[in-house]
Amino acid sequence: MNAEIEREDDEADVENAGAADAETDASAVSDDGTDALDEGEWAEARHLLYDMVSTPSVSGEEEAAAEVLKAFFEAHDREVWIDEVGNVRAPADDAVLLTSHIDTVPGDVPVKIEDGVLWGRGSVDATGPLCSMAAAAVETGVSFVGVVGEETSSRGAWHLVEDREEPDAVVNGEPSGWDGVTLGYRGFLSGTYISTSELGHSSRPEENAIQSAVAWWSRVADFFDEERDGVFDTVTTKPVRFDGGPSDDGLAVEATVDVQFRVPPRYTIDDVREVAESELTRGGVHWNKPIPPVMMSPRTDVARAFRVAIRNVGGVKPRLLRKTGTSDMNIFAGTWDCPMATYGPGDSDLDHAPNEHLDLAEFDSAIDVLVDVCERLADD
């Protein structure tokens, strides 16, 4: 009998230990913050966001994240495929095309949830906007594309404008804050200046290729520095790489300068190119494919729909924004003649930052706004 009692006590201890372990495990689950994913109307979208942020998707390595996104649309019986460049395509009602980018910049930001805030690379730029648009597209039945390569060459957006018909309206996904909508971006022009000169003794007074390169860039930068009307309305000039020295055969001096220009809507790409080339005294510039500036009217159907939706969701005055950088909206506006805007949850000051994070409540609000916008535009 004593042995049986001892055996029962041992079993009770095991059961108690198991219960204690279970309590510990339950506490661990609660403490990691993921319970917040199950809160609210958009719990499924929150889980998608968490899964996408947890899946590395640096530019050029978006395949795994694209499969996660594709599976979300398949689960909702939507037509969806991954095209030849890696874009996730889910066509439907082209009254609105919702599109954002799958790729992120490099950087290890540990994925975690604290106090209803999701931390991780891409949570703001632009997995948050991307997943809010995926949820809104499923809810409203409008078209969706997750594009690749936005952080580098925008290969996904360039392929899209060449491969599909123009939609009735476009909403591009980038962080604007749930109560803001972006209507303008500067354009982007880059190129490489190349010059050579005969190699001579350094005591000779003639200007060599390196001096010519320095002088050329100084003249170009000075020209645009003369007009300062705020950053958005100014051409920003940046040399990003400078090489120079004797040629391999020792007979010449060579110089190359990689340059970049951010171009406001009041200028065209050709205007900036013309200025740069007019300042040449030696050598030439090989230009890369440009991205034009864009400035949409606040009176388009898309802008009006956002103003109404933001007021409806949060009772606040919408913020109309202009950004000094460049986005895929520039590419869409350069090809498609339809109204568009850029929108998404998140603080753009956290783009590419080591502390990138997104409030899940703001994510939910952005979905509410997008659903309202899509329904209004589809009804119109």
- The set of catalytic residues is 103, 150
Q: Hey, which residues does 294 pair with through a beta bridge?
A: 185
Sign of the Cα pseudo-torsion (244, 247, 250, 253, in order):
negative
| Tokens standing for residue 359 | 């409030």
Closest CA to 68 of 102, 93, 108, 38: 102
Rounded distance between C-alpha atoms, residue 32 and residue 113, angstroms: 7
Spatial neighbors of 28 by CB under 8 A, at least 6 apart, are none
| Tokens standing for residue 62 | 């978006």
151 appears as a binding residue in the annotation: yes
352 appears as a binding residue in the annotation: yes
DSSP, collapsed to helix, strand or coil, labels residue 23 as helix
Structural contact between residues 92 and 78, judged by C-beta atoms closer than 8 angstroms: yes
| Strand 180-185 to 319-323 pairing | parallel
357 appears as a binding residue in the annotation: no
Rounded distance between C-alpha atoms, residue 138 and residue 371, angstroms: 10
Consecutive H or E run containing 320: strand 319-323
Which residues sit in the known binding site? 101, 125, 151, 174, 352
Which residues sit in the known binding site for Zn(2+)? 101, 125, 151, 174, 352
